[in-house]
């Protein structure tokens, strides 16, 4: 299964090169695909777009490690393959 983050910018004014498009996700499994329009309520806010993404990413990875999971900040066109 593959997740493709088509866009990662919610209903906010801030935008960057990596966060330009409206929040949506494409889920692909073999030849089946479903696109999910994430709407305005799923975005983490402008902090991720406006702040230092490397610093926020490091904080996120540390929190994830403490909880025994993997996490990263999504950006437009990011593809994640789940196995």
The 10s digit of each residue's pLDDT in 3-60 is 999 988 878 888 888 888 888 899 999 999 999 887 766 556 677 788 888 898 899 8
Indicate the number of domains in the chain.
Answer: 1
Range of the domain at 49: 2-81
Q: Decide: 77 and 2 in contact? Cβ < 8 Å.
A: no
What 3-state DSSP class applies to 80? Answer: strand
Taking the whole predicted model, whether its pTM rises above 0.85 is answered as no
Q: Which helix (H) or strand (E) holds 4?
A: strand 2-7
User: What is the spatial distance between Cα 16 and Cα 47, in angstroms, rounded to a whole number?
Assistant: 12
SS3 61: helix
């Amino acid at each position: 299964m593959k997740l493709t983050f088509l866009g990662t910018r919610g209903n906010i004014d801030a935008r960057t090169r990596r966060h330009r498009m409206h929040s949506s996700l494409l889920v692909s499994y073999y030849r089946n695909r479903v696109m999910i329009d994430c709407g305005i309520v799923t975005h983490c806010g402008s902090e991720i777009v406006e702040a230092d993404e490397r610093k926020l990413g490091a904080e996120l990875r540390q929190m994830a490690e403490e909880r025994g999971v993997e996490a990263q900040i999504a950006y437009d066109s990011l593809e994640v393959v789940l196995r």
